[in-house]
Amino acid sequence: MSNRQKEPLDLTAIKVPDHIAIIMDGNGRWARRRGLPRQAGHRAGVENLRRIIDACVEFGIKVLTIYAFSTENWGRPPSEVRALMRIFARVLDQEVYELHEQGVCLHHLGDLSGISPDLQAKVKRAIELTKNNDRLILNVAFNYGGRAEIIHAVKQLLQDNVPADAMNEELFSNYLFTKGLSDPDLVIRTSGELRISNFLIWQAAYAEYLAVPEYWPDFDREALYKALLAYSNRERRFGLVTA
């Protein structure tokens, strides 16, 4: 992590969203630009995640959701999939204690049964360790897909014999992995791409969307602040008209 002095930022100038969600895109391009293997980009991505978690705590954000591994990412070369699994295991083994100290409460979004039993155990241990923390909720979407999440919810509803008349948005939300959490206010995608890529497709229905040019490893505290400034200048209407 860099030792450079933190630039003073005027937090009174921003509206701090409760919940931000980030599609951490561009690790591969960040690495290629430096003549490094893609895995080096993912390692730099994890280092940056540390910095962004610190910044979220500093700015007073309550929930951070990150897209770490999608259901589609299984189609990447096996060596890259293995590297991402190793990186996740290392985060769960080593970084989780520091996150715990910091008051971070870890949640998992996605299909846990689709990952190795060893990794499943590490995820469960980390969730148990951090469950009483309330400074920042960190949702890690890993083996996650928005459509798969909706299908999972529908299956559970059918298993629970929920009658059609009882169905409403609130009830449906309670069957999603994000049960009990507020919807994201802001979805940020790094690396300039303009797609939602099956991320929180139900929950982000009214989120503000922001595409930023930086590759994920370069999206630092100052870049997050700039994103929050842009968010602060948006007018959220939720389908209504300006007052």
> Which positions are catalytic?
25, 73
Q: Is 122 in the site for ligand FPP (CB under 6 A)?
A: no
Residue linked to tokens 């009830």? 171
Phi, psi of 141 (to 5 degrees): -85, 110
Q: Is 172 helix (H, G, I), strand (E, B) or coil?
A: helix
Q: Is 110 in the site for ligand FPP (CB under 6 A)?
A: no
Residue closest to ligand FPP when measured from CB atoms: 28
Taking alpha carbons only, the member of 26, 110, 13 closest to residue 65 is: 110
Residue nearer to ligand FPP on the CB measure, 49 or 181: 49
Part in contact with ligand FPP (CB under 6 A); list of ranges 39-47, 98-106, 115-123, 145-153: 39-47
For residue 64, is it left (φ>0), alpha (ψ between -120 and 50) or beta? beta
Cβ 206 to ligand FPP shortest distance, Å: 25
- The answer to whether 176 and 153 are in contact (CB under 8 A) is yes
Q: Is 219 in the site for ligand FPP (CB under 6 A)?
A: no
Q: Is 129 in the site for ligand FPP (CB under 6 A)?
A: no
The DSSP code sequence of 83-100 is: HHHHHHHHIIIIIHHHHH
Part in contact with ligand FPP (CB under 6 A); list of ranges 1-9, 42-50, 108-116, 165-173: 42-50
Cβ 89 to ligand FPP shortest distance, Å: 9
Part in contact with ligand FPP (CB under 6 A); list of ranges 27-35, 109-117, 125-133, 150-158: 27-35
Amino acid at 240: L
* Angle CA 185–101–113, to nearest 5: 65
User: CA–CA separation, 35 vs 30, rounded Å?
Assistant: 9
Residue nearer to ligand FPP on the CB measure, 88 or 177: 88
Residues lying near ligand FPP in the complex (CB under 6 A) are found at 24-29, 42, 45-46, 49, 68, 73, 87-88, 91, 140, 216
